[in-house]
């Protein structure tokens, strides 16, 4: 399988999540990515893009979210960048602790870390790179 690059720039509106979902579906079909890997990538990437739109760019449609996929024979890499103020990803409470079980926030980052084989943040939390081994 040859290496592939795919880039998508979106305004910060949640109705654009469907475009990300469609891109993942198209890439999965084109590169014969198995259903389990596709599901992991979909859940984690959609969560990251939603976070970038809602929390990073605060639904400011003038700000964009960039989604960049790289696909190789052994992995899918996805980078998501927003234009927000960033956040300290080390200070997000663990949603599995008893005191946080009923809180609604913080679950997305936990899910991303669980599904991806590697998650790295940079640019003060405005940039996340996830790698999925396939």
Q: What is the pTM of this model?
A: 0.92
pLDDT at 1: 43
Tokens 């996340």, residue located: 128
For 2-17, give the secondary structure using H, E and C.
CCEEEEEEEECCHHHH
63/42 Cα distance (integer angstroms): 23
pLDDT at 2: 45
Residue-level pLDDT, tens digit, the chain, 134 residues: 445 569 999 999 999 999 999 999 999 999 999 999 999 999 999 999 999 999 999 999 999 999 999 999 999 999 999 999 998 877 887 777 788 777 777 788 999 999 999 999 999 999 999 999 99
Strand 127-133 relative to strand 118-122, pairing? antiparallel
pLDDT at 4: 55
pLDDT at 5: 66
Domains of the chain: 4-133 (3.30.565.10)
């Amino acid at each position: 399988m040859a290496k592939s690059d795919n880039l998508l720039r979106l305004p910060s509106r949640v109705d654009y999540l469907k475009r990300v979902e469609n891109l993942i579906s198209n890439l999965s079909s084109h590169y014969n990515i198995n259903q389990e890997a596709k599901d992991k990538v979909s859940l984690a990437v959609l969560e990251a893009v939603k976070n970038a739109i809602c929390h990073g760019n605060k639904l400011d449609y003038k700000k964009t979210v960039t989604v960049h996929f790289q696909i190789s024979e052994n992995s899918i890499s996805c980078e998501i960048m927003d234009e927000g103020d960033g956040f300290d990803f080390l200070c997000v409470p663990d949603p599995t602790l008893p005191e946080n079980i009923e809180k609604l926030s913080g679950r997305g980052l936990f899910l991303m870390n669980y599904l991806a084989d590697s998650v790295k943040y940079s640019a003060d939390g405005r940039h996340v790179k996830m790698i999925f081994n396939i």
